[in-house]
Structure 1
Amino acid sequence: MPSDGSTGGASRVFFDAILHPHRSLGRGGVRALMGVVITLNLLIAGGAWAIGAWPVAPFCGLDVLLLWLAFRVNARAARRYEQVRLTDADLTVRRVDERARERLTRFHPYWLRVRQDDQSAHGPQVTLSSHGRSVGVGSFLSPEERAAFALALDDALRAWRRPPCPPAPAG
């Protein structure tokens, strides 16, 4: 997750993480599963047709169509990601949704706090806050991944604050 290298510009990178939602099946796995489901549905529809229960056949096709649509929706949702990057100058949270729309939030790291809210039903939520602004990150991660992410980001912020750290802005 963290990166200690430099970007080639004047700014050092203390932390750079790209968070993606978990996908249980890759493209090949989806194709294989769909192949098995289509084959089984064709066998069931063929058997039903052979014994005179032809109205069953369209419902077998409907099963396949609904499963395919569910996988399409899941693949589209998996396109979203969040990038959290800490440099000498700032911490940026870039969120890209499934339609490739970007939302960028910047914080000055000097006052930034990383908080985990243990009250959530889905495990600890990671919240970055500073000067009355806050943003949640990694909501699609597992509780263990969120805890590891928060710890790594907190360690990077401590490293950023160690002398000689960039000066805090006035105000």
Structure 2
Amino acid sequence: MPYKWTSPPQDTPQTMVLWPHNSLPARGMASFVLATFTMITIPVLGLLGSPILWGMLPFTLAAVWGMYWALQRNHKSRQINEELVLDDTMAHLRRTNPNGDVQEWDCDRYWTQVTKYDSEGPVPHYVTLRGKGREVEIGAFLSEEERIALFDDLQRALRR
């Protein structure tokens, strides 16, 4: 699951780290790009020595570069990290966005409310934390099942 408690439940402060699921690691991406380049090159080999090769080559390279660029952009946009720290009195959420911006929210733990919007949010089972006059999302990048489990975990953790 792409979130975990980094400290035991009985300890304070409790810390939860959330991150998006990355199904294609860097090594897998390199293998995929190399395999695609190889598969595209096989039909072009028959054109060696022909002037048509020079007409096909830019499009072949553009296709491989476009795929590499799209995979790199996807990888960079998944560099989100959220950290929730629950100590005896405060709840503190820190979100690091892909561009490096940091957003922070804190509230008295007693007044912190966890809310799950089953269908009203931007994604199904949208989970938010509310307190101190603000409502902030947490784990919007998780899958539906993971957001449901996150909601249950947060409710248990805040009840302690």
Q: What TM-score range do you get, normalising by the shorter chain?
A: 0.7 to 0.9
Separation in structure 2 between the aligned mates of residue 44 and residue 60 of structure 1, nearest angstrom: 10
Give 1:60 shift: 1.0
* 2:79 match: 79
Contact 2:89 2:110 in 1 (8 A): no
The amino acid of 2:145's aligned partner reads E
Counterpart residue number, 1:165: none
For the residues of structure 1 that align with 2:138 and 2:51, how far apart are their CA atoms?
56
Q: Deviations over 1:91-124 (max 9, x none)?
A: 1110101132211110111111101101146311
Partner of 2:33: 34
Shift of 1:89: 2.6
Q: 1:90, 1:60 → 2: CA distance? A: 56
Shift of 1:52: 5.8
Does the aligned pair in 2 maintain the 1:46–1:57 contact within 8 Å? no
Gaps in structure 1 of 5+ consecutive residues:
7-11, 160-171
Alpha-carbon distance, 1:87 to partner: 0.8
Aligned-pair identity (%): 27
- 1:118-168 CA deviation, whole Å, 9 max, x = no partner? 114631100111243110111110011111111101101111xxxxxxxxx
User: For residues 50 and 23 of structure 1, what CA distance do their matches in structure 2 show?
Assistant: 42
2:101 corresponds to 1:101: yes
Describe the superposition over 1:13-45 as per-residue Cα deviations: whole angstroms up to 9, x where unpaired. Answer: 2x3211111112111111110110111122232
Q: Indicate if the aligned counterparts of 1:49 and 1:57 stay in contact, CA closer than 8 A.
A: no
TM-score (norm 1): 0.81
Letter in 1 for 2:127: V
Query: Are residues 1:90 and 2:90 paired?
Result: yes
Q: Residue type matched to 1:44 in 2?
A: P
Q: Residue 107 of structure 2 contacts residue 132 of structure 2 at CA under 8 Å; is this kept in 1? A: no
Q: Secondary structure at the match of 2:46?
A: helix
Aligned AA for 1:75? H
After superposition, the Cα gap between the structure-2 partners of 1:46 and 1:138, relative to the gap in structure 1 and judged at 3 Å, is same
Q: TM-score, normalised by structure 2?
A: 0.86
- Contact 1:41/1:61, CA 8 A, preserved across alignment: no
Residue 114 (structure 2) aligns with: 114
Higher RCO (CA 8 Å, separation ≥ 6 residues): 1
Question: Within 5 A, what are the aligned runs for 1:1-171?
Answer: 1-2=4-5, 3=7, 4=9, 6=11, 12-13=12-13, 15-49=14-48, 53-54=52-53, 55-119=55-119, 120=121, 122-159=123-160
Amino acid at match of 2:102: E
RMSD (Å) for aligned C-alpha atoms: 1.8
Separation in 2, partners of 1:142, 1:33: 25
Q: Kindly tell me the number of residue pairs found equivalent between the two proteins.
A: 153
Residue identity in the other structure for 2:89: A
Once the two structures are overlaid, the 10-residue window that deviates more, 38-47 or 20-29, is 38-47
1:164 alignment partner in structure 2 = none
